């Protein structure tokens, strides 16, 4: 059960964007979203293998969301709070993976 926590942002992101693509259009989704989801998967995989530095990829995606939230694109919801939460989440996951690596 604990292993799935590393992949939680990836799973939630896939659900969000696949549903969004089915309701709207997959062509409306920026291709970089799929790159970011790939980075989240790799991050989860590395942390599952007790590589704490895998959390850096998740933190980078969080920083990207914070940056995107600072841009005025006319979106209803700002990405900044999600990015902050994601950065905190991956810092905590990195600490947990680091402690597991040291055991």
Q: State the pLDDT confidence band at 1, using cuts at 50, 70 and 90.
A: very low
State residue 100's pLDDT score: 81
Greatest mean pLDDT range, 1-5, 37-41, 66-70, 96-100: 37-41
Write the pLDDT tens digit of every residue in 4-28.
888 999 988 888 888 877 777 767 6
Q: State the pLDDT confidence band at 60, using cuts at 50, 70 and 90.
A: very high
Q: Which two tokens stand for residue 101?
A: 């690596």
Name the residue ranges covered by the structural domains of the chain: 2-102
Q: Which two tokens stand for residue 18?
A: 């696949």
H-type alpha helices, 24-77: 31-48, 55-70
Q: What is the rounded (10 degree) CA torsion for 39, 29, 13, 76? A: 120
Residues 62 and 84: their CA atoms lie apart, in Å, by 6
């Amino acid at each position: 059960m604990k292993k799935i926590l590393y992949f939680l942002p990836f799973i939630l992101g896939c659900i969000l964007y696949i549903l969004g693509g089915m309701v709207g259009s997959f062509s409306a989704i920026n291709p970089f979203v799929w790159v970011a989801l790939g980075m989240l998967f790799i991050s989860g995989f590395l942390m599952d293998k007790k590589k704490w530095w895998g959390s850096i990829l998740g933190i980078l995606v969080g920083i990207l969301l914070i940056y995107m939230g600072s841009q005025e694109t006319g979106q209803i919801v700002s990405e900044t709070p999600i990015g902050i939460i994601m950065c905190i989440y991956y810092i905590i996951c990195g600490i947990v993976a680091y402690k597991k690596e040291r055991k």
